[in-house]
Amino acid sequence: MSEQQSKPKSVVVGGGIVGVCCALYLQKEGHQVWLIDPAEPGESTAKWSCGQMAVSEIIPLSKPGILKRIPGWLLDQKGPLALRPSALPAMLPWFLRFVANARHSRIDAIAREMATLTHGVYQDYAPLLALCPGNALLGQRPVIEVFDTPRGLEAERAHFALREALGFHAEPLDAAAIAALEPALAGKFSHGLLFPDWCAVSDTKGFIAALTAAFLRQGGTRIDTGAVSLTETHQRASGVTLRDGRVLPADHIVIAAGTGSRHFFQQLGVRIPLTGISGYQTLLPQPDVEFRHSVIYADGGFCFTPMTRGLQIGGTIEFAGPDAKPNYRRAEIILEKARRLLPQLNLAQKEFGVGHRPFLPDTKPVIDRSRRLNNVLMAFGHGQLGLTLGATTGRLIADLAGQRTAAQDLTPFSAYRFTQGDRA
């Protein structure tokens, strides 16, 4: 038997940041890997993200008092967080679970569980980035957050204290410090924070494309089509049926297709309340404004991220339902707010984009094994932390495939936590 024939065969469904990181870590284990995705490398949800390694962004999206805000989200479609009225009936069961996590005890527990993943982000990315020589994919500058008034800082004080208690740090910034770090914002803000343990990628699309190229250089195969079902033999998945009718045999299968993972839930025997939350971005190829850092404008509800392909401005969130069409008016609203702050922005050749963040009501991902088909692994639901947790998820999936006990307790990220008395 040849060496190639003796290698375990793995198929990863989903070629976004989580999928490609899973594929690379399985390659490190000696697997022959196929990566399945109909889109071009880099054309995924993470492309239209703020591009930040947000290692301390562990506080769930649900917060105390969130139920009272829902009418405002319905009425104000220009706010940083909006709920499309037509989506409310279908999303109501999801929202009830979501609101159930807005208790202080749940927020504390979720933050602690998420911190077990985010503490290892840079260590987990290091071997993957080493496969991309000559590519400065990860920036070295920290991330900044600015506030209009001290009230914004005060409102988040308890959450900042929780982050600090879990080993993450933030440094206060006054007007002079903000101006020194970001001259474009001089005189505009006098309250801010510096996150020294965060950084931003140089290009969200290029980051995923470079990792995909490394996967291909190491003998991986990427197939540009969709997967429609899993073939089964004796309570195991024996392969993946592609849209063109081909069947790829596999010893291990990883479902890492973001919101598209829902397509496989019935076959896997799981009931998971996964939905897509739309995040809008605007790319300005020649903005005529220089940013040195990725900057979160907290009260505006968006951020500025300088990339090699231009300045990306975005982050606004819309609850629109799982299969809703994009409302690019949301991207226009971001741009209008950015122009009020920086009138000199050059809007020529602007490009709008939307990423459908795969969210679960407790803001935690699923990293688990199917009980029905025990050689199928699940890696989805990362919400706004897909880019941050891509490599860590890949390492954990490789541990599951190798039947090893993971360094982190994966119980909080079980696919079955929604059906066993935990109403998260």
**Segment among 26-30, 64-68, 396-400 with least mean pLDDT:** 64-68
- Residues 363, 106 contacting (CB under 8 angstroms): no
Give CATH for domain 1-62+103-138+201-274+362-424. 3.50.50.60
Name the architecture of domain 68-102+139-200+276-359: 2-Layer Sandwich (3.30)
pLDDT of residue 422: 47
Query: Using 50, 70 and 90 to split pLDDT, how confident is the model at 423?
Result: very low
Q: Is the pLDDT of residue 71 over 90?
A: no
The highest-confidence range among 133-137, 227-231, 280-284, by mean pLDDT, is 227-231
Give the model confidence (pLDDT) of 287-342 as tens digits. 999 999 999 998 888 999 999 999 999 977 788 876 778 888 888 888 999 999 99
Characterise 89 by phi-psi region: left (phi > 0), alpha (psi -120 to 50), beta (else). Answer: alpha
pLDDT of residue 76: 66
Which pair of structure tokens corresponds to residue 380? 């989805």
pLDDT of residue 66: 63
pLDDT of residue 74: 58
Q: Is the pLDDT of residue 72 over 90?
A: no
Give the model confidence (pLDDT) of 178-217 as tens digits. 999 999 999 999 999 999 999 999 999 999 999 999 999 9
Q: What percent of the chain has pLDDT over 70?
A: 93
Which pair of structure tokens corresponds to residue 345? 């922005």
What is the arithmetic mean of pLDDT over 250-264? 97
Give the model confidence (pLDDT) of 11-25 as tens digits. 999 999 999 999 999
Q: What are phi and psi of 99, to 5 degrees?
A: -65, -30
Return the axis-axis angle of helices 88-100 and 66-75, rounded to nearest 10°.
150
Three-state DSSP state, 274: coil
What is the arithmetic mean of pLDDT over 249-276? 96
pLDDT of residue 322: 65
pLDDT of residue 65: 65
pLDDT of residue 171: 96
Measured between alpha carbons, how far is 64 from 302 in angstroms, rounded to an integer? 21
- Closest CA relative to residue 381, chosen from 414, 338, 339: 414
Query: Using 50, 70 and 90 to split pLDDT, how confident is the model at 69?
Result: low
Q: Residue ranges per domain, the chain?
A: 1-62+103-138+201-274+362-424, 68-102+139-200+276-359
What is the arithmetic mean of pLDDT over 341-357? 93
Measured between alpha carbons, how far is 17 from 24 in angstroms, rounded to an integer? 11
Pairing of strands 295-297, 143-147: parallel
**Segment among 100-104, 248-252, 401-405 with least mean pLDDT:** 100-104
Topology alike, domains 1-62+103-138+201-274+362-424 and 68-102+139-200+276-359: no
Q: Is the pLDDT of residue 174 over 80?
A: yes
pLDDT of residue 67: 59
Mean pLDDT of the chain: 91
Residue 324 gets which letter from DSSP? P
